[in-house]
Amino acid sequence: MTKTVWIIGAIIVVGVGIAAGIIFAGGNDAPAIAATATKGTGADLSQPTVAVAAQIAPVATVQTAELADSGFNTEAGPIVLETLDELFANAASYSNKAVVVRGTIVTQCISGCTFSLEDGTAVIAVELIDDALDNVLDKGSVGRRVEVRGTVETSPQLVIVIEDPEDWNYIN
């Protein structure tokens, strides 16, 4: 029984790792991801992938006043980004700077310390480190809206790093 549980657990961990790799490495171009994943197999998964991507409801852009009302200090503080595609388009200019973004959690690790955030324009990895690990995501947070304030890191991949437990919160 124990060996079976370990095997099932290993399969789940590998599956989650592959899914996260596809999400984080592939950006937000679903047809390109499908084409890469099926290259040389003769399979055409682009239609189902596009259908799933089309079902993701676009998220309204965030206005600076909304973020200020939410409790985050936006005066002479972090840069408030209205969309994640703005961050991806100008990643070098945001490197090592504090930003505030909103979006929906689309994946999360089992311990709640990392998740991917989608705002209708792009998907980005978010990682909780140091003191922020005192305030990890609740289990089953996929689909919930959050607001995060963190530092943009561009290497080895684009990610928002949160160090303070108060720098993220649910907004629904």
Same domain, 108 and 164: yes
- Among 13, 33, 55, give the residue marking a domain's end: 55
* Number of structural domains the chain divides into: 2
- Give pLDDT, residue 144: 92
Kindly tell me if the per-residue pLDDT of 62 is higher than 50. no
One domain for residues 46 and 96? no
The reply to whether 123 and 70 lie within a common domain is yes
Contact by Cβ (8 Å): 97, 63: no
Lowest mean pLDDT among 25-29, 92-96, 119-123: 25-29
Q: Are residues 78 and 162 in the same domain?
A: yes
Residues 46 and 106 occupy one common structural domain: no
The domain containing residue 47 runs over which residues? 2-55
Strand pairing of 123-128 and 159-162?
Answer: parallel
The CATH number of the domain where 104 resides is what?
2.40.50.200
Q: Tell me the pLDDT tens digit for each residue of 108-166.
A: 888 888 999 999 999 999 998 898 888 888 888 899 999 999 999 988 889 999 998 89
Average pLDDT on 14-30 reads 52
Q: Give the residue ranges of DSSP H helices in 90-171.
A: 91-94
Highest mean pLDDT among 8-22, 69-83, 93-107: 93-107
Residue 99 reports pLDDT greater than 70:
yes
**Band of the pLDDT at 1, cuts 50, 70, 90?**
low
pLDDT at position 32, please?
Answer: 46
Q: What is the pLDDT of residue 131?
A: 86
Same domain flag for 94 and 120 = yes
What does residue 147 show for φ and ψ, rounded to 5 degrees?
-120, 130
Instruction: Clarify whether residues 126 and 70 are in a common domain.
Output: yes
Mean pLDDT of 91-99: 92
Same domain, 12 and 96: no
7 and 79 part of one domain: no
Longest dimension (CA), the chain: 57
Q: Are 15 and 72 found together in one domain?
A: no
Rounded to whole angstroms, what are the CA distances from 15 to 21, 41, 52?
Answer: 10, 19, 18
**pLDDT value of position 30:** 46
